[in-house]
Structure 1
Amino acid sequence: METRPPLPPFTFETSKEKVQAAEDAWNSRDPERVAGAYTEDSQWRNRSEFFSGRDKIKEFLKRKWEKELDYRLKKELWSFTDNRISVRFEYEWHDDAGFWYRSHGNEQWEFAENGLMRRREASINDVPIKESDRKFRWERTPVMSR
């Protein structure tokens, strides 16, 4: 059976590890890497989209990162229980016309016993910003091609 440590039940430290691992994966902008953290039948709500399964997750992420260019994300642990973690996040991106946005959101995660996420609920709001108002000024990281 596939596992993704740390496993539930979570502690403060293992919850922070899960959040950091998710931040690192999402900042890679690699749909395969991100989708590997979810169960094969994972249930998702992202904004107004509802879908399930790794293949749908990968399709969603490919679409997302074709639109949200130079995406950079920061996640913060909000709370946790035995097999659930809540996160607040912000990310910045620009569209193909060069307009910048900061997206603010909250996620609720539920994990299977093997440490893979079986449910993700995300609420997100986008705010237009000026490029000069960006918070996340990391160097551009190349996206790995397959």
Structure 2
Amino acid sequence: MNPQSESKPPFPPFSLETAALKVRMAENAWNNRDPHKVALAYTIDSLWRNRSEFITGREQIIQFLTRKWNKELEYRLIKELWATTDNRIAERRVN
């Protein structure tokens, strides 16, 4: 499967409205708490750092999120659009 077929619209270049929509879609995905769906938003070889833990790839992302959400039962992520230009989005996370 190629990366474009795994992506969901809206696609770049972003307007203020489409960037805000993309951020809201990501927020909704995280708050559905389905680690398999959330992991699909990241590349197969993604690299994450969470404090002292280093996470590589989707399978480790799924394992990490499963552990996280089993402990943090009231977890809710709030994302806000911080900035956007053409093909980039910056967001602010509040949790």
Give the TM-score category using the shorter length. 0.7 to 0.9
Q: CA RMSD in A?
A: 1.7
SS of match in other structure, 1:40: coil
Change (3 A) 1:80 1:52: farther
Select the structure that is richer in helix: 2
Structure 2 equivalent of residue 97 of structure 1: none
Q: Percent identity among equivalent residues?
A: 60
- The one-character-per-residue Cα deviations of 1:16-38 (angstroms, maximum 9, x if unpaired) are 11110111011111101111111
Distance 1:60 1:5 in 2: 26
State which of 65, 74, 77 in structure 2 corresponds to 1:61: 65
SS of match in other structure, 1:41: coil
Select the structure that is richer in strand: 1
| TM-score, normalised with respect to structure 2 | 0.81
How far has the Cα of 1:7 moved from its partner? 1.4
State which of 22, 29, 36 in structure 1 corresponds to 2:26: 22
Greater RCO, 1 or 2 (C-alpha within 8 Å, sep 6+)? 2
How far has the Cα of 1:9 moved from its partner? 2.3
- How many residues are treated as equivalent by the alignment? 91
Change (3 A) 1:47 1:78: farther
Larger Rg belongs to: 1
Distance 1:52 1:27 in 2: 22
1:42 aligns with 2:40: no
1:8 aligns with 2:12: yes
How far has the Cα of 1:6 moved from its partner? 1.4
Runs of 4+ with deviation above 6 angstroms: none
Q: Which ranges of structure 2 fall in alignment gaps of 5 or more residues? A: none
